[in-house]
Amino acid sequence: DSEKLSGMIEEMGYTRTENIEEADLIVFNTCCVRENAEDKLFGKLGEVKKIKEKRGTIIAIGGCMMQEEHIVEKLQKSYPFFDIVFGTHTLHKFPQDLYNIILNKKRIKDIINIDGEIVEGLPIKRDDKIKASVTIMYGCNNFCSYCIVPYVRGRERSRKAEDILKEVQELADKGYKEIILIAQDTTKYGTDIYGEPKLAELLNKLSKIENIKWIRFLYAYPETIDDELIKEVKENEKVCKYFDIPIQHISNKVLKRMNRQSDGESIRKLIKKLRDQIPNVIIRTTVMVGFPGETEEDFNELYKFIEEARFDKLGCFSYSKEDGTPAARLKEQIHPMTKKSRYNKIMKLQKMISKENLKEKIGKKIEVLIEGETFDHEYYLGRSYMDVPEIDGVVYLKEKENEPLQIGDFVTCKVVDVNEYDLICE
């Protein structure tokens, strides 16, 4: 969304400045599921108030936080100097809103609560030249009890496969090498449109596009990962052998209260199946500790499962109350100290597992995409199929004197050492 906003704003003639003091327009694109998102936004607004007063800078605030009524009310009451607020379903209208504010100087609130149409062909300004995220579906139907996303981003709406293929073809023509398909739950792709391909078929079609080397998809809901998808990941050379499956918990009692569709048994079976069927598969997961009512016994079950499952990568969250979600009304909220201690225990365990898993790679050969170099120019920096931009580790690659590498090169190299989350290669 931020890349689309940048693209639209640039087409209107604006250029980016690194100096906020000289900005004519400041746009905040908010996300309500980020930790401390509200505090961060209100803090930043406090900072830009002076700039607004000094040079009449237009202040626009968008994103899924604006779909929450209490936030917009607070903005109107405590930060009345903003010019535009827009929601997730009206992002494509931003140029029109901006134009209106320039002409009429009257504050605009452009928020609707019905699912927005899918608008194709918006200009996108991508910061990266090698990898690109491509949205394949909007919204979510899962209604996990702790999550605000279905309320602020609406129901599942898949993009047409032909539009996705066109976008990826254009990216390939521009030299992009890695495509990351994104949706709240990619495994549901195509299920809302009769006759559209499902995720496995979409991956297959995309892999026929020349020059695209790696394709990934984030995230995969455990209950809807089917055999067809597993087969496609296994057999398609271009699809990274990488699953990011947020399981959230393993205790049936907790999963039920979270309104998750999977139970402990089906999660265990799925992880085993993936490991059995796809050699060298990397599995990342996300778990949540301290969900209301999580007992010591539930937590121990989760801890033991993580010990056994040996995920390659794992993100852990402490439950935090999100206004407007069913879980926020649950009694038996867990004490913050208990949450913190459970979080620390999981992270300590996973750190050890991740390192041990990485150590198994020493001596093996892996393919690495070169993305840059360290500040001291001693190492190239890259990623293997095991690492996702901004989520996982990096590969440090020592240069061979007579073989200089370029950003965007794929090289096969040997793992010689590991540090906490990263590989050192030659």
- Interface with ligand SF4 (CB under 6 A): 140, 142-144, 147, 149-150, 184-185, 221
Residues 6+ apart with CB under 8 A from 395: 366, 368, 381, 382, 383, 384, 387, 413, 422, 423, 424, 425
Residues 6+ apart with CB under 8 A from 426: 397, 398, 400, 413, 414, 416
Q: In whole angstroms, how close is the CB of 414 to ligand SF4 at the nearest point?
A: 38
Q: In whole angstroms, how close is the CB of 322 to ligand SF4 at the nearest point?
A: 10
CB nearer to ligand SF4: pick between 290 and 393: 290
Q: In whole angstroms, how close is the CB of 144 to ligand SF4 at the nearest point?
A: 3
CB nearer to ligand SF4: pick between 96 and 266: 266
CB nearer to ligand SF4: pick between 137 and 369: 137
CB nearer to ligand SF4: pick between 167 and 185: 185
CB nearer to ligand SF4: pick between 76 and 261: 261
CB nearer to ligand SF4: pick between 32 and 366: 32
The helix (run of H) or strand (run of E) holding residue 206 is helix 199-207
Q: In whole angstroms, how close is the CB of 145 to ligand SF4 at the nearest point?
A: 9
Closest CA to 396 of 406, 385, 421, 409: 421
Q: In whole angstroms, how close is the CB of 260 to ligand SF4 at the nearest point?
A: 7
Omega cis (within 30) before 219? yes
Q: Which amino acid is at 54?
A: K
Q: Distance between CA 311 and CA 309 in Å, rounded? A: 6
Q: Distance between CA 333 and CA 311 in Å, rounded? A: 28
Give whole-number Cα distances, 279 to 217, 233, 234, 241, 242, in Å: 18, 11, 8, 8, 11
Q: In whole angstroms, how close is the CB of 115 to ligand SF4 at the nearest point?
A: 14
Maximum separation of any 2 CA atoms in the chain, in Å: 66
